[in-house]
Amino acid sequence: MGILERFGERTIAFLEYLGGMTALIGESVRSLVHAQIRYAETFLQAYELGIGSLLIVLLTSLFTGMVISLESAQQAVQFGIGSLVGGAVTYTSVRELGPMLTAVVVAGRVGSAIAAEIGSMVVTEQIDALRSMGLSPVRFLVVPRLLALAIMLPLLTVFADIISILGGMWIAQAYAHINPASFISSARQAVGFEDVVKGLLKALIFACIIAFVGCYQGLSTRGGAAGVGRATTSAVVISIILIFGTNFVMSYLLFGGH
């Protein structure tokens, strides 16, 4: 196959992906606008996807906060600005690492689970069965997962921010003898309520990315068990790339040069 042919094939595949994803988003929005929501399923998904991810998110955030504090405290103490460590840890956690790392962890755990579950339903004809019964797989499967993630990811991000700051504060005190009052004072000066809201807005967008990519990869599964494996891997890879890219764009738009 020639280079031109391969390029053409990839372009068509990309456009098909874009078209399919747009249709999925459109139908999901239509279901939400018409309030076609399965509340019990949404609650169940929120519990399974959100609460199930809490421990891993807390652990990741705790160690991240600790390592930021360790690195910044070392430098700050050397230059006599140890009182700024609280600001550095909080600023980084709330605006960038909190939302992004939580999203990456959830993409790995939940995005893959969504793709695998829906992909298995495709290969065992359960999705065809839903359509055959006149039920929309989008309303039945995608909307509850989208809503569950849209509620739970910002909540998880709040917990991630708090535990990251607490971990940072602990290391700052233990390693650089920066007292907690000084740490908190610095944190309050560095970060405002607006920063927290913008961080949570990021989390909301990341939730949509994880839900839509996971569901789309699952729904477009082809080729049995191997296909489910491919869908799962693709869901994680695509979600993470999109999360990083979107994080940059959103940071630029929300925080600009500030």
Partner 1 sequence: MEPTIYASLDDVTLSFGEHVILKNCSLKIVRGAITCIVGLSGAGKSTILRLLDGLIEPSSGHVYVDGHDLCHTPERDLVELRQKTSLAFQFAALLDSLTIGENVGLPLREHTALPDEKIRHIVDDALESVGLRHIYDSLPNELSGGMLKRAGFARAIVTRPELVLYDEPTTGLDPIVTNLITDTIVRLREKLGGTAVVISHDLHSIFRMADYVAMLFEGAIIAYGPREEIRTSTNPFVQQFLTGSEVGPIPV
128 touching partner 1, by CB under 8 A: yes
Residue ranges with strand state E in the chain: none
Distance from chain centroid for Cα 178: 32
Check residue 35 for interaction with partner 1 (CB under 8 A): no
The single-letter DSSP state of residue 223 is S
Contact status, residue 112 vs residue 56, Cβ threshold 8 Å: no
Task: Find out whether 143 and 36 touch, Cβ atoms under 8 Å.
Answer: yes
Q: Could you say whether residue 6 binds partner 1 (CB under 8 A)?
A: no
131 touches partner 1 (CB under 8 A): yes
The residue from 58, 84, 121, 148 that contacts partner 1 (CB under 8 A) is 121
CB of 121 to partner 1, least distance (A): 8
What binding mask, one character per residue, do residues 62-101 give for partner 1 by CB under 8 A, x or -? Answer: ----------------------------------------
Query: With binding defined as CB under 8 A, does residue 176 bind partner 1?
Result: no
Quick one: which of 12, 29, 59, 129 contacts partner 1 (CB under 8 A)? Answer: 129
Pick one of 2, 4, 40, 132: the residue that binds partner 1 (CB under 8 A).
132
Beta carbon of residue 50, minimum distance to partner 1 (angstroms, whole number): 18
Site stretch for partner 1 (CB under 8 A), options 54-62, 81-89, 118-126, 218-226 = 118-126
CB 68 within 8 A of CB 95: no
Q: Does 225 bind partner 1 (CB under 8 A)?
A: no
Report the C-alpha gap between 127 and 151 in whole angstroms. 25
Whether the CB-CB separation of 82 and 180 falls below 8 Å is answered with no
Q: Which stretch binds partner 1 (CB under 8 A): 8-16, 106-114, 117-125, 193-201?
A: 117-125
Q: Minimal CA–CA distance to 114: which of 208, 250, 7? A: 208
| Amino acid code (one letter) for 176 | A
Nearest to 87 by CA among 154, 169, 201: 169
**The Cα angle at residue 120 between residues 211 and 223, in degrees rounded to 5:** 110
* Site of interaction with partner 1 (CB under 8 A): 120-121, 124-126, 128-136
